[in-house]
């Protein structure tokens, strides 16, 4: 049981906009910055969004993050086949005094 809650799966067709949610609490998302990671099949995770809505260099602006209260969302617009991957949210947790991850969402591009 992960501290952060994500839907196990999501899907969309090429060109569509999809969102992935991440629900937490006041001890993590409600207080600290939210981060999102993309893990393509067979590869290491990659930082996709940090500080709620910042993109590292090289990440397309099709990817965006937002946060409201104790929940966060990752939005992917103009969905492409290469976006098919697992997506994880993560935040610092002040109760556990450690980083915590969501269980991951498998995105399928139909």
Partner 1 sequence: EVQLLESGGGLVQPGGSLRLSCVASGFTFSSYAMSWVRQAPGKGLEWVSGISGSGGATYYADSVKGRFTISRDNSKNTLYLQMNSLRVEDTAVYYCAKDLSASGSYGGATFDIWGQGTMVIVSS
The residues binding partner 1 (CB under 8 A) are 2, 32-33, 35, 37, 39, 44-47, 50-51, 56, 86, 88, 90-92, 97-104
In this structure, how many other beta carbons lie within 10 angstroms of the beta carbon of residue 13?
A: 9
Q: How far is CA 41 from CA 32, 51, 78, 81, 106, in A?
A: 29, 25, 20, 13, 10
Nearest CB to partner 1, comparing residues 77 and 94: 94
Pairing of strands 46-49, 105-109: unpaired
**Residue 100 · residue 91 · CB < 8 Å:** yes
The nearest distance, CB 25 to partner 1, in angstroms, is 14
The nearest distance, CB 59 to partner 1, in angstroms, is 11
Nearest CB to partner 1, comparing residues 59 and 77: 59
The nearest distance, CB 79 to partner 1, in angstroms, is 22
Nearest CB to partner 1, comparing residues 10 and 47: 47
Residue with tokens 């969402």: 105
């Amino acid at each position: 049981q992960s501290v952060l809650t994500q839907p196990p799966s999501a899907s969309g067709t090429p060109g569509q906009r999809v969102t992935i949610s991440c629900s937490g609490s006041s001890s993590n998302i409600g207080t600290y910055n939210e981060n999102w990671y993309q893990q393509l099949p067979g590869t290491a995770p990659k930082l996709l969004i940090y500080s709620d809505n910042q993109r590292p260099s090289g990440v397309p602006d099709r990817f965006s993050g937002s946060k409201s209260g104790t929940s966060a969302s990752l939005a992917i617009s103009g969905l492409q086949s290469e976006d098919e991957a697992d997506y994880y949210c993560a935040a610092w947790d002040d109760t556990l005094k450690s980083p915590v991850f969501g269980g991951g969402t498998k995105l399928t591009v139909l």
